[in-house]
Amino acid sequence: MSIFGLDTNVLVRFLLKDDPVQAEQARRVIEETLASGDQVAVGLPVVLETEWVLRSCAKLDKKTIITTFRMLLESRDLLIEHEDYLEHALYLYENNNADFADCLIATGYKRSGCSAMLTFDRKAASIPGVILLNSTRS
């Protein structure tokens, strides 16, 4: 059995179907890979980049992005790298004013044993365990 990792552009085409030719090719290669007994993986950097594309380029709202990632997590066919990190980051993203990237970063620090994450970003500081540093600019 082999494991094939998806690049962001393949996952985005699969999710958005904004390019019919590439969307069909992405769907087909995923289905054929799974049908052959191999597995399909999605890495955390791909998830992070996909969130950026969905938000910035496709203009999807936060709720739709969360729903999309939860759908990926619920899929028995995909291997999501550090699935528990993603689940926790989505929880933080849904329940705080912070950007998804900051939620994923804070989750990684917490899971690796850090006492807190330090930031100058006020939105990121809405995450429990994130400390806002006082910034005085001249």
Question: Would you list which residues are annotated within the binding site?
Answer: 7, 102
Burial of residue 93 (number of CB atoms within 10 Å: 0-12, 13-18, 19+): buried
pTM: 0.90
Banded model confidence at residue 74, pLDDT cuts 50, 70, 90: very high
Kindly report, residue by residue over 14-63, the tens digit of the pLDDT.
999 999 999 999 999 999 999 999 999 999 999 999 999 999 999 999 99
CB contact at 8 A, 125 and 116: no
Question: Would you list which residues are annotated within the binding site for Mg(2+)?
Answer: 7, 102
pLDDT greater than 60 at residue 138:
no
